[in-house]
């Protein structure tokens, strides 16, 4: 299961019989997810440019999934007593696909604040308990990518001769606070490239954002249990120069 992804360096974790469900009831779901992710590429410049809203990688993944029928869906669950509605709860999931034997709900958490993992996992738990979904899935930054971000950014700086704060402005406009942090880090590291990479990654892709270790911590302590889960970490190998 997901052998192509694993071979390409993706982190894959299946919990609560998710693999058995996929094998017997919705193998095509695994095939489609693998198809989308195996072709994913991330130019290093996109990490730097960023900008507001979703990153370009996330947008590409969303479009590829949507083309295969994984659409955004708002689940609305109502509690009715003697014909009177007492409670109504809605859960919006970015990618949902119904298969003959079950429904798969999938979220991409590329770079949000890490409490989004709690939201996703609790949503999956409630939807599964109500019999609405069979499996919940999350795609996020894997450990090899997270641990290599400073190296990737520093190499990008060297290759593109980003040697001053003025050079950075060709890609984005740092705030006064960010400029001070870059200057301090450059002094500490003895190199503008290394200093900028350190400050940039700490500011944009820090430990409090959504990445594999934060997700793994939550499922290890039972968040989302007992919903069957498929968790996938995007590796460093998708980054291109």
pLDDT for the residue numbered 78: 76
Q: Do 178 and 226 share a domain, yes or no?
A: no
Residue 189: domain span: 146-203
Q: Do 18 and 98 share a domain, yes or no?
A: yes
Q: Do 27 and 133 share a domain, yes or no?
A: yes
Phi, psi of 10 (to 5 degrees): -70, 145
Q: Do 179 and 70 share a domain, yes or no?
A: no
Q: Do 116 and 199 share a domain, yes or no?
A: no
Token pair, residue 116, equals 């989004």
Hey, is 65 helix, strand or coil?
helix
Mean pLDDT over the full length of the chain: 93
Q: Do 128 and 155 share a domain, yes or no?
A: no
Q: Do 117 and 169 share a domain, yes or no?
A: no
12 DSSP β-pair partners: 232
DSSP annotation of 211 reads B
Q: Do 155 and 110 share a domain, yes or no?
A: no
CB atoms near residue 82 (< 10 Å): 5
User: pLDDT by residue (tens digit) across 106-147?
Assistant: 999 999 999 999 999 999 999 999 999 999 999 999 999 999
pLDDT for the residue numbered 76: 85
Does the pLDDT of residue 198 top 80, yes or no? Answer: yes
Q: Do 54 and 82 share a domain, yes or no?
A: yes
What pTM, to 2 d.p., does this model score?
0.92
User: pLDDT by residue (tens digit) across 60-88?
Assistant: 999 999 999 999 999 988 777 877 776 76
Does the pLDDT of residue 104 top 90, yes or no? Answer: yes
CATH of the domain at 101: 3.40.91.20
Q: Do 35 and 136 share a domain, yes or no?
A: yes
Does the pLDDT of residue 102 top 80, yes or no? Answer: yes
Q: Do 12 and 53 share a domain, yes or no?
A: yes
Please tell me the total count of domains within the chain: 2
Q: Do 81 and 96 share a domain, yes or no?
A: yes
User: pLDDT by residue (tens digit) across 140-167?
Assistant: 999 999 999 999 999 999 999 999 999 9
Determine the Cα–Cα distance for residues 189 and 149; give it in Å rounded to an integer. Answer: 16
Give the confidence band of 1 by pLDDT, cuts at 50, 70, 90: confident
- Which of 129, 135, 101, 107 has its CA nearest to residue 120? 107
pLDDT for the residue numbered 53: 54
Strands 11-15 and 229-234: antiparallel
């Amino acid at each position: 299961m997901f052998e192509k992804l694993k071979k390409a360096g993706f982190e894959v974790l299946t919990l609560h019989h998710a693999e058995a469900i996929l094998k017997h009831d919705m193998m095509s779901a695994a095939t489609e997810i693998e198809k989308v992710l195996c072709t994913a590429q991330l130019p290093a410049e996109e990490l730097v440019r960023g900008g507001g809203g979703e990153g370009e990688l996330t947008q590409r993944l969303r479009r590829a999934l949507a083309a295969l029928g994984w659409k955004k869906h708002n689940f609305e669950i109502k509690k009715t007593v003697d014909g009177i509605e007492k409670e109504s709860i809605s859960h919006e999931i970015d990618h949902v696909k119904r298969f003959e034997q079950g429904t798969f709900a999938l979220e991409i958490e590329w770079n949000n604040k890490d409490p989004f993992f709690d939201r996703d996992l609790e949503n999956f738990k409630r939807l599964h308990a109500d019999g609405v979904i069979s499996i919940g899935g999350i795609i996020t930054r894997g450990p090899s990518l997270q641990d290599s971000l400073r190296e990737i950014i520093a190499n990008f700086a060297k290759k593109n001769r980003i040697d001053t704060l003025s050079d950075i402005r060709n890609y984005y406009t740092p705030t006064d606070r960010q400029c001070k942090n870059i200057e301090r880090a450059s002094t500490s590291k003895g190199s503008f490239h290394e200093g900028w990479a350190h400050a940039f990654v700490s500011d944009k892709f820090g430990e409090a954002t959504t990445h594999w270790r934060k997700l793994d911590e939550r499922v290890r302590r039972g968040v989302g249990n007992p919903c069957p889960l498929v968790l996938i970490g995007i590796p460093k190998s998708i980054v291109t120069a």
